[in-house]
Amino acid sequence: MAGIRVTEVDWQRPRNGAAHHTEEYPGPVLVVRRGQRFTFTLKMNKPLESEETLIFTVETGPQASEALHTKAVFQTTELEVRNAWTAVKETQTENTMTVSLISPPNAVIGRYQLSTRVSSRRRNSDRKLGEFILLFNPWCPEDAVFLASEEERQEYVLSDSGVIFRGVEKHIRAQGWNFGQFEEDILNICLSILDRSLSHQADPATDVSHRHDPIYVTRAISAMVNSNNDRGVVQGQWQGKYGGGTSPLHWSGSVAILHKWFKGRFKPVKYGQCWVFAGVMCTVLRCLGIATRVVSNFNSAHDTDRNLTVDKYVDSFGRTLEDLTEDSMWNFHVWNESWFARQDLGPSYNGWQVLDATPQEESEGVFRCGPASVTAIREGDVHLAHDGPFVFAEVNADYITWLWNEDESRERVYSDTKKIGRCISTKAVGSDSRVDITSLYKYPEGSRKERQVYSKAVKKLFSMEVSGRRTRVHRASGCGLWRDDLLEPATKPCITGKFKVLEPPVLGHDLKLALCLGNLTSRAQQVQVNLSGATILYTRRPVAEILHESHAVKLEPQEDEKTEAQRN
């Protein structure tokens, strides 16, 4: 007599897709979320006898093993087993059985192979049932990526379009962006991105075993969206030369970029800047099931030496000395936030985590950034993983201008504790309105609490130096900055100056400005006013000088003086 065997599988894709919020993923493969049961029906060539047992095996990745939690073997039961792969027999008719499969809420995400064995004392019958894809589950309270608000889940996981804010602090504009995480082949491409990572190339089995952890997965994606250390998705270009590629300004979504990378056999797509990296990363993480949004920071610091200041060196005309100035302030910078628990740090740091795929600085030898807890940034806990000092500086560095004299001495001529990190913005839930989330990153500028947090952050960095985790900060000029220097208040000036725009600027027309000088002393002052102006990129890198002139001005005690300047 022929043995019993499985002859047919019904994956119940419509039912499971609706229950798991995965019905929009195209293609024949079942897509489900971890920590939640999904149901399928097995048809057999004859009824299952009482002595026969149905045993299931799930496997993901190469060299799958139970020790690495990339393989599980289990038989049907009557009740669900918590935090373990479980197969619950729902119904059974003469030749069919409906089974619910439940994965643990911390299961490895990715492609799985499911197979079954009908086992009896006489013989075993094995059958490969097929493939399914397991994603993170923001609807599951036990999942590290759980997000309680249904409105936010709809926005940050399921919405396939949005806006990205760009421009300058006083003129913020919105650009539409198609994330397209449910477009044809995008899920397959997103999983392929993980398989192309440096960690996977070095040790595939171990890499896959870590994919249960959103910290690990998001950090890997942060590295792979840029192409600096690997054959990542997007190649950056900030010099205005876009030959052989597409200008970053011309992209309006992630789908074309991801398709081009995949179809081009993983050749980096030319070209991207911060909003492109952030748009692509948002697509990938939403596709994998992690709630993610795009965040824009205006007057964003790039602190190259992690001393929490932007140090600008100028000559007597105010021209930036490029060979000495390594830090910079960008008109705007765009990154991502993803929502998940920080089991490595503790529940106080759960919630939004900063991730930045723009290749600015290396983190543990690779161009990536985050995840950094937004709460940790607000509280000045810059010693916590990952990349806290860099992100803290982006939103709350002090801006210092140094006058570099001919004898190579320097003089601090300007300090601003409020300049960096303005109008931190993201799209509103359910609309395209701009929401200001600056208060999530720092206390009100100028408040005592904000200054206390800044001092705390500086001291945390100093303690990292003392413990041997960092060395003294050095600049290209050879001038080191110790922590004490950073906490000293700026010297009160005796002369002040501020530009005033006389007429609203119009593209292609002259720009009319007035320099308003003030003498704060009780005696007359003879002032030499050196003026320079240059066109800049959004990263504030000078391109061409358009103004260079000098004036002698006498200011009487407590007098204000206005000097006009005009350039086209």
Residue type at 300 in one-letter notation: S
Q: What angle do CA 196, 201, 202 make, to 5 degrees?
A: 150
Task: Give the span between the Cα atoms of 132 and 98, in whole angstroms.
Answer: 17
Per-residue pLDDT of 192-251, as tens digits, reads 999 999 999 999 999 999 999 999 999 999 999 999 999 999 999 999 999 999 999 999
Residue 451 reports pLDDT greater than 50: yes
Per-residue pLDDT of 354-366, as tens digits, reads 999 999 999 999 9
**175 neighbors 166 (Cβ within 8 angstroms):** yes
Would you state the pLDDT for residue 469?
A: 43
Given 274, 282, 287, 423, the catalytic residue: 274
Find the mean pLDDT for residues 160-177. Answer: 98
Find all residues with CB under 8 Å of 87, minimum gap 6, and list them.
Answer: 54, 56, 74, 75, 76, 77, 99, 100, 101, 102
Given 303, 327, 356, 387, the catalytic residue: 356
Given 20, 210, 333, 386, the catalytic residue: 333
Topology adopted by domain 150-487: Coagulation Factor XIII; Chain A, domain 2 (3.90.260)
* CATH annotation of 495-567: 2.60.40.10
Q: Is the previous residue joined to 371 through a cis bond, with omega within 30 degrees of 0?
A: yes
Per-residue pLDDT of 93-130, as tens digits, reads 989 999 999 999 999 999 999 999 998 777 888 999 99
Would you state the pLDDT for residue 485?
A: 57
**87 neighbors 74 (Cβ within 8 angstroms):** yes
Would you state the pLDDT for residue 529?
A: 86
59 is in an annotated binding site: no
Query: 517 pairs with which residues across the strands?
Result: 497, 561
519 is in an annotated binding site: no
* SS3 of residue 410 by DSSP: strand
How far, rounded to the nearest angstrom, does the alpha carbon of residue 190 sit from its chain's CA centroid? 16
Query: 110 pairs with which residues across the strands?
Result: 134
Per-residue pLDDT of 502-515, as tens digits, reads 888 888 888 888 88
Q: Which residue has the higher pLDDT, 492 or 292?
A: 292
Q: Which residue has the higher pLDDT, 475 or 300?
A: 300
Residue 188 reports pLDDT greater than 70: yes
* CATH annotation of 6-135: 2.60.40.10
pTM: 0.89
Locate the domains of the chain by residue range.
6-135, 150-487, 495-567
229 is in an annotated binding site: no
Quote the radius of gyration of the chain (alpha carbons, Å): 29
445 is in an annotated binding site: yes
Active site residue 333: yes
Residue type at 180 in one-letter notation: G
Q: Do domains 6-135 and 150-487 have the same CATH topology?
A: no
Q: What is the largest CA-CA distance in the chain?
A: 114
Lowest mean pLDDT among 152-166, 304-318, 443-457: 304-318
Q: What is the percentage of the chain residues whose pLDDT exceeds 90?
A: 73
Active site residue 140: no
Q: Which residue has the higher pLDDT, 248 or 320?
A: 248
**391 neighbors 222 (Cβ within 8 angstroms):** no
Would you state the pLDDT for residue 226?
A: 99
Confidence band (pLDDT; 50, 70, 90) for 425? very high
Lowest mean pLDDT among 137-141, 261-265, 449-453, 535-539: 535-539
Find the mean pLDDT for residues 54-79. Answer: 96
Would you state the pLDDT for residue 465?
A: 55
Residue 349 reports pLDDT greater than 80: yes
Among candidate residues 300, 363, 361, the one with its CA nearest the CA of residue 328: 300
* SS3 of residue 89 by DSSP: strand
> What share of residues in the chain are helix, strand, coil (percent, to 5)?
20, 35, 40
Query: 128 pairs with which residues across the strands?
Result: 115
* SS3 of residue 488 by DSSP: coil
Active site residue 274: yes
